[in-house]
């Protein structure tokens, strides 16, 4: 394997790992109990300052 090939392989591996991590911590829906308070807080915050 040339230096370039090993570099590309390593780059692809890190990209795959990053994607996997993003998928695991990725966008959470309303059903996710950890994200729900944040979503609700954002909604209340927006409503409070847009209607003022």
Q: What percent of the chain clears pLDDT 90, i.e. is strictly above it?
A: 0
* Rounded Cα distance, 34 and 25, in Å: 11
Work out the average pLDDT over 2-28.
72
Q: Total structural domains in the chain?
A: 1
**For position 51, what pLDDT does the model report?**
65
What domain range includes position 35?
Answer: 3-50
pLDDT tens-digit series, residues 23-48 = 666 565 556 565 566 667 777 777 77
Mean pLDDT of the chain: 70
What single-letter DSSP state applies at residue 34? T
> Are 52 and 45 in contact, with CB atoms under 8 Å apart?
no
Alpha-carbon Rg for the chain in angstroms: 20
- pTM for the predicted model, two decimal places: 0.34
Are residues 39 and 30 in contact, defined by beta-carbon separation less than 8 angstroms? yes
């Amino acid at each position: 394997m040339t230096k370039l090939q090993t570099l590309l392989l390593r780059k692809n591996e890190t990209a795959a790992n990053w994607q996997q991590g993003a998928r695991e911590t990725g966008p959470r829906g309303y059903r996710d109990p950890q994200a729900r308070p944040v979503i609700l807080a954002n909604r209340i915050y927006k409503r409070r300052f847009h209607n003022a």
